[in-house]
Amino acid sequence: MELMFATVAANPLACVAGLFGMFCLAIFPLFHARSAMLSVYIGNNLAFVMHYGLLHDWTAAAMNCLMAVQTLVAIRIAEEPRYRWIYYVLMASLAVMVAMTWQGLPSVFAGMATAFSTFGRMQSRELPLRLLLLMAMPCWLVHDIIVGSMPGFIADLLSIGTGLYMLYQRCWRGSSPTALLHRRVTSA
């Protein structure tokens, strides 16, 4: 915690960017439509590009930039599946970007979080989408503890809580196992 407070004091602009990203990350699971969820998620990515860039955490900044681009493509895939090949090319760039911006353990966790998010955004069924996006959050949580990002840490905790609640509300509450596996995310 001491590192987080020192980081906030030393980088107030990074903190402001992180707070906006924190807000977007905390609320994206509240949306029911896939396109709305993913659009708010882009706001989170862009804010955290700035946040991590100002903290000189280049892998996390690159991963958030990549996720923003991937999310734009993922939104289009639902309407036009022919864009799927672009998404696969962007997925391949994840490992290259981690290697190019390598900063040790923080890069490992930022890369893992991005991989979970990447596969999540490709899902058309609600349960895998929500589960994979939720699985990214503990990776970001560990990353943010290591680098001392208080906005990231708080956003991760809020997103985990909100994501679990929405998973229960939208996917498990009153659903049969068969219906749960086949429910598609609404696109409106």
Identify the pLDDT of residue 27.
Answer: 83
Identify the pLDDT of residue 188.
Answer: 43
Q: How far apart are CA 134 and CA 54, in angstroms?
A: 26
Of the pLDDT bands very low, low, confident and very high (cuts 50, 70, 90), residue 159 is confident
Q: Average model confidence (pLDDT) for the chain?
A: 87
Residue found by looking up tokens 């672009």 in the block? 86
DSSP β-bridge partners for residue 33: 186
Domain boundaries, the chain: 2-182
Tell me the average pLDDT across 17-43.
Answer: 85
Identify the pLDDT of residue 176.
Answer: 58
Query: Which one is predicted more confidently, 8 or 146?
Result: 146
Query: Which one is predicted more confidently, 72 or 105?
Result: 105
Amino acid at 49: V
Q: Which of 45-54, 77-86, 149-158 shows the lowest per-residue confidence on average (mean pLDDT)?
A: 77-86
- Which pair of structure tokens corresponds to residue 146? 């290591």
Tell me the average pLDDT across 54-78.
Answer: 90
Note the pTM of the prediction, 2 decimals.
0.83
Q: Note the Cα 69 to chain centre separation in Å.
A: 12
